[in-house]
Amino acid sequence: MEQHFKNHISSEHNIFDLHIHETLQYRDLIFLFVKRNFTAQYKQTVLGPLWAIIQPLLTTIVFTVVFGNLAKLTVEDIPGDYVLPGFLFYMSSNILWGYFSSTLHSTSNTFLDNWGTMGKVYYPRLVVPISTAFSRLVSFGIQFTMFTVFWLFCVIRGGTSIRITPWLLLIPLLIIQMMILAVGFGIIISSVTTKYRDLAMLVGFGLELWRYGCPIAYGLQLVPEKYIGLYLLNPVTPILTTFRYAVFGFGFFDLGYYAISWIVSIIVFLIGLILFSRIERTFMDTI
């Protein structure tokens, strides 16, 4: 009797067959993984999800004291006579970078952390990095709510140059771009680390170096003018400066460099998808 199967699992497929449609069919599994990841992140902690607020708040306080008060680094992205609370500057930068770095770091361990289930049960492997990005987005949502409270307080109190503008509508697009860029780099690293484990050891160190190569602890005005063009080619920099431009109503925004940042983000994401699709077929033989 001839048997007909709904799904045929094979390691032989076109390198450009990324299983996007199939991954979307597993949206219920993505939701379960998001719930699992978020729960596991704060499991057996006394304060639970409050750590999503405490960590960026403490980081912001440290940055304000060390870089703002002691080192007196500028928080200006453009020259001018305006008033911007350093605390808000550091918080806006830290919560956005925190989402990017945590998503990249978690997705970079996709194969190493999930080889047990991946070797026993079939599901589209892209489910894992996608669910990781969304679970980190939940924490970012909590942090962004905290930032909004401080932002509204400054707006209502007055005494600053913060303005409410239509640029606020750009924030969701910036978050989506940050997610695409983080997942892209993360799955590239996760694919390479199945064979070269050394790279996994360098991810955390590399992210710390990358942090200080972005205008997070200082404003863009601190960068020498002769290096500013090269500095803005860092795809994270235009996202950070545009995010601040949106929430504060003033600052640095360059459409050309922002477009380049988007192009780099999409290219990195597509390379990651192709490499991920290729490695997932044989990673159990090398991991």
Per-residue pLDDT tens, the chain, 287 aa: give them.
455 555 555 555 555 555 666 677 777 877 888 888 777 777 766 667 777 888 889 999 999 999 988 988 888 888 888 889 999 999 999 999 999 999 998 888 876 666 666 666 776 778 888 888 998 998 899 999 999 999 999 999 988 989 999 999 999 999 999 999 999 999 888 888 877 776 777 888 899 999 989 999 999 999 999 999 999 999 999 999 999 999 999 999 999 999 999 999 999 999 998 888 777 666 554 55
Q: Could you give the CA distance from residue 160 to residue 189 in angstroms, rounded to a whole number? A: 42
Report the amino acid identity of residue 217.
A
Q: Residue 14 in contact with residue 273, Cβ under 8 Å? A: no
Q: Could you give the CA distance from residue 192 to residue 112 in angstroms, rounded to a whole number? A: 11
Q: Could you give the CA distance from residue 267 to residue 12 in angstroms, rounded to a whole number? A: 25
The H-assigned helical ranges of 213-282 are 228-231, 236-248, 255-279
Report the amino acid identity of residue 35.
K
Q: What is the pTM of this model?
A: 0.87
Report the amino acid identity of residue 210.
W
From residue 61, how far is each of 53, 151, 279 by CA, in Å? 12, 16, 42
Q: Could you give the CA distance from residue 275 to residue 15 in angstroms, rounded to a whole number? A: 8
Instruction: Please state the length of the chain.
Output: 287
CB within 8 A of 63, min separation 6: which ones? 90, 94, 216, 217
Q: Work out the end-to-end distance of the chain between its first and last CA atoms, rounded to an integer number of angstroms.
A: 39
Q: CA 240, 188, 97: angle at the middle one, nearest 5?
A: 20
